[in-house]
Structure 1
Amino acid sequence: MESFRKVIKGWLGKVLLVLFLTPLALVGIEGYFSSGNKDTAKTVNGTDISKKELESLTKTFKQQYLAYANGDETLLNQTFIEQKALDTLVARTLLLQQAEKLGISLSDQQIEQMIAQQPSFQENGQFSNALYENYLKSVGMNSRQLIASLRNDHALKMLSSTFMDYPLVSKLDIEQIANLQTEQRHVHIASVNLDNYKKNVKVSDAEVAAYYEKHKTVFKQPTSVDVDYVVLSPANIQTETAAATEAELQEAYKKFVDSQKSAVKPDVKHILITADSRSEAEAQKLAADVAAKIKAGTSFAQAAAQYSEDPESKAKGGAIAVYETGVFGDAFDKAVASLKPGVVSAPVKTDYGYHIIAVETPNVDVPSFESQKARLTEEVLAAKKANAFSDTVNGLNDMVVSADSLDVVAQEVKGIQVKSAKGVTLATRDPLLSDANVKVKLFNDDVKNGDRNVSSSIQLANGDVAWVKVRNYYAVGEQPFAVAKPRVKAKLIEEKALAAAKAQIQKTLEEFKTKPAASVAKGNLSFEDAGIYTRAEGLLKRDVQRAAFSLKAPKAGFWSVTTASLPNELVVVAVSEVKKNPITVLSEEQRQELMKLYSQLRGQQEFDDYTRYLKAHAKIK
Structure 2
Amino acid sequence: MESFRTLIKGWLGKVLLVLFLTPLALVGIEGYFSGSNKADVAKSVNGQDISNKELESATKNYKDQYLSLVKGDESLLNQPVIQQKALDALIARSLLQQQAKKLGISLSDTQIEQMLAQQPSFQENGKFSQKLYENYLRSQGMTNQALIASLRQDHALKMISSTLLDYALVSQSDLHQLANLQTEQRTLHLASIKLDDYKKGLTASTQEIADYYSKHKNEFKQVASVDVDYVVLSPALLPQTNLSITEADLQLAYKAFAEKQQKDAKPEVKHILITTDSRDAAAAKKLADDVYAKIQAGMTFAQAAIQFSEDPGSKAQGGLVDAYAPGIFSADFDNAVKALKSGQISKPVKTQYGYHIIETTAPVASVPSFDAEKSRLTAEVQKTKLANLFSDTVNSLNEMVVGNDSLDAVAQEVKGARVESVNGVTLTTQNPYLGDLSVKAKLFNDDVKNGDRNASSNIQLASGDTVWIKVRNYHAAGVKPLDQATAEVKIKVIEAKAYKAAQAKIAKILADFKTQPAAQVVAKSQVTFEDAGTFARSQGLRRAIERAAFSIPAPTKEGMWSATTAKLPNELVIVAVSNVNTSAANELLADQMAELTKLYQQFRGQQLLEDYTDYLKSQAKIK
Q: How far apart are 1:522 and its partner, in Å?
A: 4.2
Instruction: Tell me the TM-score normalised to structure 2 length.
Output: 0.91
589-598 or 307-316, which deviates more:
307-316
Aligned residue for 2:24, secondary structure, equals coil
Q: CA RMSD in A?
A: 2.2
Say whether residues 1:564 and 2:566 are aligned partners.
Answer: yes
Pick closer, same or farther for the CA change 1:43–1:138 going to 2, 3 Å.
closer
**Aligned mates of 2:106, 2:182 — CA distance in 1:** 42
- Deviation of 1:36 after TM superposition, in Å, equals 5.5
Amino acid at match of 1:67: S
3-state SS of paired residue (2:514):
helix
Give 1:370's aligned amino acid.
D
Amino acid at match of 1:34: S
Distance in structure 2 (CA, Å) of the matches to 1:214 and 1:328: 66
Identify the residue that residue 153 of structure 2 maps to in structure 1.
Answer: 152
In the alignment, structure 1 residue 291 sits paired with structure 2 residue 289:
no
Q: After alignment, is 240-249 or 286-295 more displaced?
A: 240-249
Q: Secondary structure at the match of 1:25?
A: helix
Is 1:26 the counterpart of 2:27? The answer is: no
Write out per-residue CA displacement over residues 419-455 of structure 1, whole angstroms, 9 at most, x where no aligned residue.
2221110011111111111101001122222222222
Q: Residue 518 of structure 2 contacts residue 559 of structure 2 at CA under 8 Å; is this kept in 1?
A: yes
Q: How does 1:367-446 map onto structure 2 within 5 Å?
A: 367-446=368-447
Once the 2 structures are TM-superposed, how far is the Cα of residue 186 of structure 1 from its aligned partner? 1.5
Per mean C-alpha deviation after superposition, the further-off stretch among 456-465 and 248-257 is 248-257
CA drift of 1:415 comes to 4.3
Q: What CA deviation, in whole Å up to 9, does each residue of 1:283-331 have, x standing for no partner?
A: 2122122222223322222211111111121111211222122111111
What's the CA shift for 1:23?
Answer: 5.7
When structure 1 is superposed on structure 2, of 111-120 and 317-326 the one drifting more is 111-120
CA deviation after TM superposition for structure 1 residue 144, in Å: 4.1
Equivalents in 1 of 2:243, 2:518: separation in Å? 87
1:245 and 1:531 map into 2 onto residues whose CA distance is 75
Describe the shift of the 1:582–1:234 C-alpha distance in structure 2 as closer, same or farther (beyond 3 A): closer
| Structure 1 letter corresponding to 2:571 | E
Listed one character per residue, the Cα deviations across residues 522-549 of structure 1 (whole Å, up to 9, x for unaligned) are 42222222222222x5222121111111
**Shift in alpha-carbon separation, 1:276–1:619, aligned structure 2, 3 A:** closer
Asked whether the 8 Å contact 2:272–2:308 carries over to 1, the reply is yes
Deviation at residue 476 of structure 1 after TM alignment: 0.7
Partner of 1:549: 550
- TM-score, normalization: structure 1? 0.91
Change (3 A) 1:273 1:159: same
Aligned to 1:462: 463
Match of 1:277 in 2: 278
Q: Within 5 A, what are the aligned runs for 1:255-270?
A: 255-270=256-271
Sort the Cα spacing of 1:103 and 1:210 in 2 relative to 1 into closer, same or farther, 3 A.
same
Q: Offset at 1:172?
A: 1.1
3-state DSSP of counterpart to 1:154: helix
Distance 1:582 1:240, change over 3 A: closer
Q: Which residue of 1 is the match for residue 578 of structure 2?
A: 576
CA distance in 1, matches of 2:423, 2:351: 60
Instruction: Return closer, same or farther for 1:80/1:317 CA change in 2, 3 Å cut-off.
Output: same
Compared with structure 1, are the counterparts of its residues 557 and 42 closer, same or farther at alpha carbon in structure 2 (3 Å cutoff)? Answer: same
User: Kindly tell me: are residues 253 and 579 of structure 1, through their superposed partners in 2, closer, same or farther at Cα, counting changes over 3 Å?
Assistant: same
| C-alpha separation in 1, matches of 2:581 and 2:235 | 68
Greater Cα shift, 391-400 or 74-83: 391-400
- Say which is worse superposed, 367-376 or 166-175, in terms of deviation: 367-376
| Partner of residue 610, structure 1 | 612
CA deviation after TM superposition for structure 1 residue 109, in Å: 4.2
Shift of the alpha carbon at 1:341?
2.2
Percentage of pairs with the same residue:
61
Find the counterpart in structure 1 of residue 506 from structure 2: 505
Matches of 1:35 and 1:144, distance apart in 2? 16
1:24–1:156 CA contact under 8 A, matched in 2: no
Tell me the CA shift for residue 90 of structure 1. 1.9
How far is 1:125 from its partner?
Answer: 5.5
**C-alpha distance in structure 2 between counterparts of 1:273 and 1:26, whole Å:** 37
Question: What is the CA–CA distance in structure 2 between the aligned matches of 1:242 and 1:180, rounded to whole Å?
Answer: 71
**Equivalent residue letter for 1:577:** N
Q: Which amino acid aligns with 2:32?
A: Y
Q: Given residue 400 of structure 1, which amino acid in structure 2 is its aligned partner? A: V
Residue 15 of structure 2 corresponds to: none
Match of 2:103 in 1: 102
Partner of 1:534: 536
Specify the alignment match of 2:129 in structure 1.
128
* Correspondent of 2:594 among 586, 592, 595: 592
Q: Which residue of 2 aligns with 1:35?
A: 35
Contact kept, 8 Å, 1:226 with 1:421, in 2: the verdict is yes
Any gaps of 5 or more consecutive residues in structure 2? 1-19
Q: Secondary structure in 1 aligned to 2:319?
A: coil
Quick one: distance in 2 between partners of 1:522 and 1:112?
Answer: 82
Q: 1:7 maps to what in 2?
A: none
Q: Which amino acid aligns with 1:525?
A: V
Seen in structure 2, the aligned counterparts of structure 1 residues 424 and 187 have a Cα distance that, compared at 3 Å, is same
Moved more, 67-76 or 518-527: 518-527
Provide the rounded CA distance (Å) in 2 between the counterparts of 1:254 and 1:70.
40
Match of 1:5 in 2: none
Q: Assess, with a 3 A threshold, how the Cα gap between structure 1 residues 168 and 452 changes in structure 2: closer, same or farther.
A: same
Q: How far did residue 44 of structure 1 move?
A: 2.5
Verify the 8 A CA contact 2:23 2:86 in the aligned structure 1: no
Structure 1 residues 24 and 374: alpha-carbon distance in aligned structure 2, compared to 1, 3 A threshold: closer
| Structure 1 partner of 2:58 | 57
Conserved? CA contact 2:243–2:386, under 8 Å: no
- What residue identity is the alignment partner of 2:425? V
- Describe the shift of the 1:361–1:158 C-alpha distance in structure 2 as closer, same or farther (beyond 3 A): same
Distance 2:497 2:142 in 1: 69
Structure 2: distance between partners of 1:52 and 1:185: 55
Query: For 1:616 and 1:259, how far apart are their aligned partners in 2?
Result: 61
State the AA in 2 paired with 1:75.
L
1:319 maps onto 2:317 in alignment: no
Q: CA deviation at 1:492?
A: 1.8
Using the TM superposition, name which of 143-152 and 304-313 deviates more: 143-152
| 2:7 equivalent in structure 1 | none
Q: SS at 1:602's partner residue?
A: helix
Q: Which moved more, 1:182-191 or 1:287-296?
A: 287-296
Aligned partner of 2:542: which letter?
Answer: K
Q: How many residues align?
A: 599
Gaps of 5+ in 1: 1-21
Q: In 1, Cα distance between the equivalents of 2:540 and 2:409?
A: 56
Asked whether the 8 Å contact 1:241–1:385 carries over to 2, the reply is: no
Look up the match of 1:482: 483
For residues 63-87 of structure 1, give each alpha carbon's deviation from its aligned partner in whole angstroms, at most 9, with x where no partner exists. 2211112112212211211121122
1:75-86 equivalences under 5 Å are 75-86=76-87
Asked if 1:337 corresponds to 2:338, the answer is yes
